[in-house]
Amino acid sequence: MYIPRAVARAAAAAASIPLYSLTISKTPGGFTSSSRGWNSFGIQANAATDPSFSFNQTNVEIQCDSLVSTGLAKLGYVYCSLDSGWSVGANGDEFGRIIYDNTSFNIPDLANHLHSEGLKLGVYVVPGGFIADENKTILDTNITIGSVCSGDNGLSRCNWNYGADGVQQWHDSVVALFASWGVDFIKLDFITPGSPDNGVNLPANESLAVPAYRSAIEKTGRQMRLDISWKLARDPTDYAIWEGNADSMRTDQDINNAGATSTSFTAWATVQRAIDNYRQYISLHTSQNEDLTIYPDMDNLFVGNSPQEDGVTDDQRFSIMSHWLGAAANLIIGNDLTNLDTTGKAILTNTNALSVGDFAAQRPMRPRNPGTGNSTSQQLQAWIGGPDETGKAVVLLANYGPDLGQGGFNTSLTGVQNVTVSWRDLGISGKFNVLDVWKDQSLGVASDHLSASLDEGQSLLLTLTPAK
């Protein structure tokens, strides 16, 4: 039989790309899975999606109580995370420590309320000490903040001289205060290299804030997650700092439609960008056997409300969840939890799908292009997580639709497309029982390839288990 030269070359290329072992083990904070829960930023930044929401303790409790009443908490969605605005923004207490805005919050009371329901509390911080506190003395020292912190990063904060005595003591005092309140999660934003300026004046390198917070957390004896943001540098030097100190790292910018008049949370064009940024990140860790100790943060999940409010179709909502699960990304919901629709509930609570997240927590997916096994950005894409020691694997096939400007693949195939990936492409061999995860439906035994007809924005999430 004649085999076209281009096909032969593609097959040879795929055969020459081994599928190395890629795993995630325990993070610096001692976690073996990514976080699940809710974060306030989506509604804060997109006020028109829920005009009745004001950022205060009453409304936060209503949202987070919904984690319990909807059954999400029983499925691991336990973090209730406050974003920017919970703290006094221009100054700290008598020692320059970060304090809550008591006109809107009582953080110890909020923590007690959440803990009584089996939930956990998260808070948002940015680097630096308060400029207004430069004359204050750091707790248990005779060192003033202004003597070790200078300049203006555009966030009402000065920049620490991380090598100076007193800087770690300030971080220790802040995190010890958080621990006394009952905080379980710290989101540390505006870390560089990586974070775009976003209208502020960030130092080129704020990476040492991350080990400062990690050291402070460890000294409290309280287990707290440390999540760092945003679109962080991936070079080996900086990545070693992130992986050695944080539990998760943002791989992209915010994906929400920020703006008071926006009536939808996100858009498919932005999701295409988020998926491509994860692809770029994980592709750096696929050329050798590697064990990672950090989880990716692809930003908040906007899959729980109606398509009009989420800003994406039902097919796209399923695809978003499939990618977040397969990547072992944080599953932090950004929606209005009091207004989940039927599809949103089905997406967030499907136990088969959540088991994929559990699998990916140790075996995250990476791209394997149909036809070559490469890891470049493509509109018609395949991903694989595993196989694990039993031979089980997770495979995701996707048609992202035309590139809307940030997808990275720059093609515009319209309508239903066939996505076919061979065992050579995926780097596996043998016979597998194939299960459609979302439908909980057996697709029989496959011995050399997988194929699906997928419309724009559709994907197919599969588990493969060895067949006798």
Which residues belong to the active site?
189, 254
Contacts with 1 (C-beta within 8 Å, 6 or more apart), sequence order: none
Contacts with 254 (C-beta within 8 Å, 6 or more apart), sequence order: 41, 45, 230, 299
Residue-by-residue DSSP string for 211-271 = HHHHHHHHHHT---EEEE-SS---SHHHHHHHHHH-SEEE-S---S--STT--SS--HHHH
- What is the rounded distance in angstroms from the CA atom of residue 466 to the CA atom of residue 468? 7
Cα–Cα distances in angstroms (integers) from residue 217 to residues 87, 99, 362, in the given order? 19, 17, 24
Token duo for residue 430: 């043998």
- What is the rounded distance in angstroms from the CA atom of residue 146 to the CA atom of residue 130? 9
- From 5, 12, 3, 4, select the one nearest 371 (Cα to Cα): 12
Q: Which residues, listed in sequence order, are joined to residue 451 by a DSSP beta bridge?
A: 420
Contact call for residues 310 and 303 (beta carbons, < 8 A): yes
Cα–Cα distances in angstroms (integers) from residue 462 to residues 287, 322, 398, 457, in the given order? 24, 10, 11, 17
State the chain's maximal CA–CA distance in angstroms.
Answer: 84
Contact call for residues 151 and 184 (beta carbons, < 8 A): no
Cα–Cα distances in angstroms (integers) from residue 441 to residues 267, 353, 460, in the given order? 30, 12, 12
CB atoms within 10 A of CB 236: 8
Contacts with 370 (C-beta within 8 Å, 6 or more apart), sequence order: 378, 380, 381, 382, 419, 420, 421, 422, 425
3-class DSSP assignment, residue 12: helix
- What is the rounded distance in angstroms from the CA atom of residue 231 to the CA atom of residue 249? 8
